[in-house]
Amino acid sequence: MCQAIVFLMHGEEKREIMRDVIALEADGDEVRIRSFFDAPQTLRARVRQIDFLKHTVTLEPSEEVGEDDEREG
What is the count of structural domains for the chain? Answer: 1
- Tens of pLDDT, residues 10-68: 999 999 999 999 999 999 999 999 999 889 999 999 999 999 999 999 999 997 544 44
Domain-embedded: residue 73 = no
Angle, CA of 28, 20 and 58, to the nearest 5°: 45
Angle, CA of 10, 12 and 15, to the nearest 5°: 50
Residues listed for the chain: 73
Domain-embedded: residue 33 = yes
Q: Which structural domain, as residue segments, surrounds residue 30?
A: 4-64
Domain-embedded: residue 15 = yes
Domain-embedded: residue 70 = no
Whether the full predicted model's pTM is greater than 0.95, yes or no, is no
Domain-embedded: residue 53 = yes
